[in-house]
Amino acid sequence: MSISAVPVESSQCRTTNSVEMANHFFTLPLDHSVENGETIQVYAREIAKHGASDDLPWMIFFQGGPGGASPRPTGVNGWIGEVLKTHRLLLLDQRGTGMSSEVLAQTLATRGDAQAQADYLTHFRADSIVKDAECIRHTLLGAEKKWTGIGQSYGGFCLLTYLSFHPEGLEGVLITGGVACVKQHVKDNYRLTYQKVLDKNKLYYQRYPEDVEKVKDIVSYITENDVQLPSGVRLTARRFQQLGMFFGGGSGLEAMHYLLEKAFVNGVTGKELSSNFLIDVERASSYETSPIFCIMHESIYAEGYATQWAAEQLREEFPETAVDADTFTFTGEMVAPCMLEDLKALQPLKEVAEILAQKSDWGKLYDLEQLSNNTVPVSAISYYDDMYVPIEWSEETAQHVGNFRIWVTNEWEHNGIGVDGPRIVSRLLEQLNNPAPFGLR
């Protein structure tokens, strides 16, 4: 691969709210294995406290997703504020997100037919993201200077790929809620996440038993009527199920309960779903601003096999998830072909998603031998009740990777870094710099 990145533009530092920010745009290969091939643009925002020394060590942030852009900070607060006490931070918009050659249905359409679009998207997984980061490191820091990686959720997956193939670029690694199942098939992962979704539903209905009938009423109304969302597509029971994504975050049960509180109003024809409710449902169940999340979600697990809509296949093993089950079960981030029908802006990508689901020659994302022999210090937090990244596989990976210290807690859900970021990052940094054993390692 070509190691150096070509800066397209780097802005002067801008001072705001006690921080200095600089924008960096880089020209990078679409396919790092091809010399002088097609290029894309990758964006990263450099941020440091006002007056910070140029000698501060660097940290690079990998966002969750897949398909999520980096945060747009407004000041020295939260986990970013904690990092800036000791580091200069680079917020990377992973390729296809934010200002990095963004992937949307309308931009993909310029590539040609569905096969051409799918071929293009094969270069938007963790292996390519890590190679982008290495090129940027060489350009901004120099080949000899390393940085620390911090990754939330899918960002942690990316860092395990980084440790597999380019550990020479890393001084250390912090992972928040994203210790990937490096040894397991995608179906093994979804079997556990389905069970955790069922557990969250049980807890939800125990806490709000009055919502059992309320949810049934909503589903019945959706099934028996042509309920149109603001975008002009019909609201289906399957799309309504996807609101279970709420359950993966802190206060998620409450968010669901409050959403349903005023679902119905009395209209001209009698009892009907309120327009405000439908607006909120569409907003909460839409992946249209991040199509990568939907059409490439299962590929983040694939190494040498086709995922073939694994989560959808496994629904048969969990009859509780049927929309006509006695108690309606909300699901999580299990993507399915029906999403390409239910989400208007994603409808043009239906064939593209199918091609990617049937692709069987995905490359390696992890080097298990290299991970076992890893010497880069890794400090991770895993959430015992995590609905998205099962603790069982997180612990298995932590046992396999060398020099890995894991903090397991049920104090937070998957979004812990957004709830109590300074405390979490502070402890992870302390753990990273302390060679004494902690947790599993």
In this predicted model, what pLDDT tens digit does every residue of 56-83 receive, in sequence order? 999 999 999 999 999 998 877 899 999 9
| pLDDT tens for each residue of 364-403 | 999 999 999 999 999 999 999 999 999 999 999 999 999 9
pLDDT digits (tens, 9 = 90+) for 137-185: 999 999 999 999 999 999 999 999 999 999 999 999 999 998 999 999 9
Q: What is the amino acid identity at position 314?
A: L
199 included as an active-site residue:
no
For residues 21 and 25, give the distance between their C-alpha atoms in angstroms, rounded to a whole number: 13
Chain centroid to CA 364: 19
Q: State the angle between helix axes of 126-140 and 154-165 in degrees (0 to 180), rounded to the nearest 10.
A: 70
Q: Which residues pair with 403 in a beta bridge?
A: none
Can you give the C-alpha Rg of the chain in angstroms?
22
Task: Give the whole-angstrom CA distance, residue 330 versus residue 247.
Answer: 9
Q: Which residue has the tokens 């060489």?
A: 138
Active-site residue identified among 70, 101, 153, 286: 153
CA distance 134 to 113: 32
Beta-strand relationship, 88-93 and 170-176: unpaired
- What does the pLDDT average to over 48-59? 91
> Shortest CA distance to 398 belongs to which of 417, 430, 374?
374
Question: Of residues 24, 87, 297, 414, which has the active-site annotation?
Answer: 414
In whole angstroms, give the CA distance from residue 415 to residue 437: 26
Task: Give 21's strand partners.
Answer: 14, 47
Residue 34 CA to its chain's centroid (Å):
28
pTM of the model: 0.95
Count the neighbouring beta carbons within 10 Å of the beta carbon of residue 270: 7
Residues present in the chain in total? 441
- Which residue out of 54, 324, 326, 361 is catalytically annotated? 361
pLDDT tens digits for 223-260?
Answer: 999 999 999 999 999 999 999 999 999 999 999 999 99
Q: Reply yes or no on whether 31 is catalytic.
A: no
